[in-house]
């Protein structure tokens, strides 16, 4: 596997194709803050439209959600409340238990949480399971008010916390591999035992290369 590190801010100058056109897979990594966000949204759009395998982790899943809302659902000013708390379409919202938190140190949703996978989806196929446990580190979440809008257009919420119904996974129909996860699979991946999500992403990227 050959890796190419791209600073997402470089994709905000109208020349994103120059950076992305020869890639066989794109991973949008976790992060915080709004620096380079529009570049990440551009990368997600490019991968979606050009059928390039894409894996979004934590913030990466949220980027997938924002891009789809803007460019497929027609919610032009859709955003995360982390970046614009006045957005008319807050498709990523602050978790309910976080809204009154002033001192943010150590208050994120942390640790391992259960996730139910929707049958007959790509994520269920990858895990070969109906119930998984993955580790988290986040404060914002998919806004469930928009679930039906996404499902109608083909971005499927395919993993949910069984107790809170928080969306943990989204995936795009009719695409070789376009998956976003709110959790951090890297926390459970080792050289000796790589995470099945990374194996599936690399396989999809290898198939794209062919």
| 3-state SS record for 53-89 | CEEEECHHHHHHHHHHHHHCCCCCCCEECCCCCCCCC
* pLDDT tens-digit readout, 18-67: 999 999 999 999 887 788 999 999 999 999 999 999 999 999 999 999 99
Burial 28-49 (b: 16+ CB within 10 A, else e): bebbeeeebbbbbbbbbbbbbe
Domain coverage including residue 163? 8-209
Burial 154-187 (b: 16+ CB within 10 A, else e): ebbbbbbbeeeebbbbbbbeebebbbbbbbbbee
Could you tell me if residue 40 is inside a domain?
Answer: yes
* pLDDT tens-digit readout, 85-130: 899 999 999 865 444 443 444 455 566 779 999 999 999 999 999 9
Q: Compare 118 and 139 and report the one with higher pLDDT.
A: 118
Q: Is 186 a catalytic residue?
A: yes
Name the DSSP class of 128: T
Please tell me the predicted confidence (pLDDT) of residue 138. 60
- Provide the β-strand partners of residue 28: 56
Q: Is 115 a catalytic residue?
A: no
The total domain count for the chain is 1
Cα angle value 32/149/201 (rounded, 5°):
55
Write the CATH number for 126. Answer: 3.40.50.880
Could you tell me if residue 170 is inside a domain?
Answer: yes
Catalytic residue of the set 58, 116, 136, 175: 58
193 dihedral zone (left: phi>0; alpha: psi -120 to 50; beta): beta
Catalytic residue of the set 141, 186, 195, 208: 186
Strands 90-94 and 167-172: unpaired
Could you tell me if residue 177 is inside a domain?
Answer: yes
Catalytic residue of the set 115, 125, 138, 184: 184
What average pLDDT does the segment 198-204 reach? 97
Could you tell me if residue 142 is inside a domain?
Answer: yes
Could you tell me if residue 3 is inside a domain?
Answer: no
């Amino acid at each position: 596997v050959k890796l190419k590190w791209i600073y997402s801010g470089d994709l905000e100058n109208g020349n994103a194709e120059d950076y992305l056109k020869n890639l066989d897979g794109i991973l949008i990594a976790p992060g915080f803050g709004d620096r380079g966000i529009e570049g990440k949204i551009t990368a997600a759009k490019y991968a979606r439209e050009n059928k390039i395998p894409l894996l979004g982790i934590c913030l990466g899943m949220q980027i997938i959600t924002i891009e789809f809302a803007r460019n497929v659902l027609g919610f032009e000013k859709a955003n995360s409340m982390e970046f614009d708390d006045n957005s008319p379409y807050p498709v990523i919202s602050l978790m309910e238990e976080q809204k009154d938190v002033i001192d943010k140190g150590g208050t994120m949703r942390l640790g391992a949480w259960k996730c139910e996978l929707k049958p007959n989806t790509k994520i269920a196929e990858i895990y070969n399971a109906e119930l998984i446990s993955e580790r988290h580190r986040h404060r914002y979440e998919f806004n469930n008010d928009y679930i039906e809008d996404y499902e109608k257009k083909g971005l499927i919420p395919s993993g949910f916390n069984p107790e809170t119904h928080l969306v943990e996974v989204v995936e795009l129909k009719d695409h070789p591999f376009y998956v976003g996860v709110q959790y951090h699979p890297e926390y459970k991946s080792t050289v000796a035992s790589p995470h099945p999500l990374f194996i599936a992403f690399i396989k999809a990227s290898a198939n794209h290369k062919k």
